[in-house]
Amino acid sequence: MKTLPGSLKNRRVDKAIMRFVDLFCGIGGFHAALHRNGHECVFATDIDRHAAETYEKNWGKPGGFDVYCNIRDVLDDIPAMDIICAGFPCQPFSKSGAQQGFKDKIRGTLFDDICTLAEKHKPKVLFLENVPNLVKHDGGNTFKVIEESIRELGYSFSWSILSPHKFDIPQVRTRVYIVAIRNDLLEKRDFAFPAETSDGTDLDVNVILDDEVDEKYNMTDDEINLLNMWEDFLKNVNKDTKLPGHPIWSDCFRGTEPLPGDLTAYSTEELIDIGTEWAEYGWVKPVDTTMSKEQLIKAIGLPKWKQDFIRKNRLLYSENKRFINRWLKKWKVLDKDEEGKPIIPVSRTKYEWQAGPTSRTNWENLFQFRPSGIRVKRGNYFPALVAMVQIPIVGWLKRRLTPKECARIQSFDVDGEFGEPFQLCDVDQQAYKQLGNAVNVHVVNLIQSRIDEFLSGSPDFPEKVPLQSKLILETR
């Protein structure tokens, strides 16, 4: 492993030590980030027992409270804080009733618990994290209610979608971050998030890789055979043009069934005929006369975007028919065993090339075995870690990332750069899951450093444009 990017060693600023609570804390990504800036955790909670155990192994029991607990059971016991940190679950809010206050709209959600704490303790800062889809969730209603709720509590509302690969960490992991600062601390300034330091094109995944790892992380012979199957495809399809940018679905190459278009335009009788005609395809569920129109459409599973992919795969087949026929036969791609089951799992007969136009081999890139198929990405940064079992594989090493390497792309200090090394769960599958659920420590630390600078009175933030002047500017 090479030395980690110098940007990991963040400069410290003159600041007051603040007390923070770590809600829905996982293994403590927020804790790790704020701890580096000298702040003190006074409470942490998570309902995942294994994650809580890993948290306590590294951070103990902040404030003397057990980390494994339901926030609803301890809400009244949570001590005062300066910062609320929360990677909160995304839940829909009520939209009924034009005269509803924010409390009525968010009642019963975990975000409501955050607001209850903010209303009670009036901390200086709310520092929240979520998946980027939060911004568009429920047609934008969820994010709108979050902003209205926070502003009504007396806080500013700033947000940004950021990813570690734009800050010299070789992982694409876009997340939305929200920073809300109590109004009396703004001093006519607007908070600004850290500026990106990289365009993500010159990253080196080797900085997180170990030279020697246990053989248990190696690809199996069957997995290597599957990649060699697709390697054969890469080398011989579209030889004179570029590789297809759409997902490749082998079971759609030879299909001749008419693409039905908008399924809502058909009667239930017609839908049953369509479902019967497409019954051999893996995603189509059985249909019968007892099903409603909505149930039939769902069972057939042919939205317009899927029909578009099917059309493109049929075209790909027609343009490479001679080779693809040989390929299907050679590798037994669509063959079935004596019991009529696919020899190759359906998900492994699907393939997504996302490694760009300059490469023509799996083995110089990174890939994942996903439920939707085998996905290949460029070899300069890793796809986002997820809590499911989709561990990135390094093509040129023919092995998966180890939990320790996954921890590095999440910026957990497993190498002891900032003190005692971070300890992962001893069970690999749990460690992978926990890291897939975690925030990226480096990105959170950079944001917290900006919060510290803002609260210390730094002039490095834009002054608020007076409302009247802003209205004049916008009408010009």
**Are 313 and 445 found together in one domain?**
no
Check pLDDT > 70 for residue 1.
Answer: no
In this prediction, residues 278-301 reach a mean pLDDT of 93
Q: Does any domain span residue 281?
A: no
pLDDT of residue 199: 85
More confident call, 45 vs 466: 45
Q: Is residue 413 in a domain?
A: no
pLDDT in tens, 165-180: 999 999 999 999 999 9
Do 390 and 433 belong together in one domain? no
Q: Do both 240 and 196 map to the same domain? A: no
Residue 94 counted as domain residue: yes
Q: In the predicted model, what is the mean pLDDT of residues 78-88?
A: 96
- Residues 241 and 371 occupy one common structural domain: yes
Which residue out of 69, 85, 90, 252 is catalytically annotated?
A: 90
Domain containing 155 — which CATH number? 3.40.50.150
User: Is residue 352 domain-shared with residue 436, that is, in the same domain?
Assistant: no
Q: Label the pairing between strands 175-181 and 125-130.
A: antiparallel
104 or 133: whose pLDDT is higher?
Answer: 133
Residue 366 and residue 240 in one domain: yes
* pLDDT computed for residue 443 by the predictor: 98
Tell me: do 61 and 181 sit in the same domain: yes
**167 and 227 co-located in one domain:** no
User: Does a structural domain hold residue 433?
Assistant: yes
407 occurs within a structural domain: no
Place of tokens 């790909």: 316
Any domain includes 419: no
Q: How many CB atoms within 10 Å of residue 297?
A: 21
- Compute the distance between CA of residue 170 and CA of residue 162 in angstroms, rounded to an integer: 13
Same domain as 364, residue 388: yes
Average pLDDT over residues 241-253: 93
In the residue annotation, 90 being an active-site residue is answered as yes
Domain containing residue 311: 214-259+302-401
**pLDDT tier, 288 (very low <50, low <70, confident <90, very high otherwise):** very high
Is 320 a domain residue? yes
Whether 219 and 132 map to the same domain: the answer is no
Q: How many distinct structural domains can be found in the chain?
A: 2
- Chosen domain end from 367, 401, 435: 401
In a domain, 3, yes or no: no
Domain shared by 450 and 386, yes or no: no
Residues 251, 368, single domain; the answer is yes
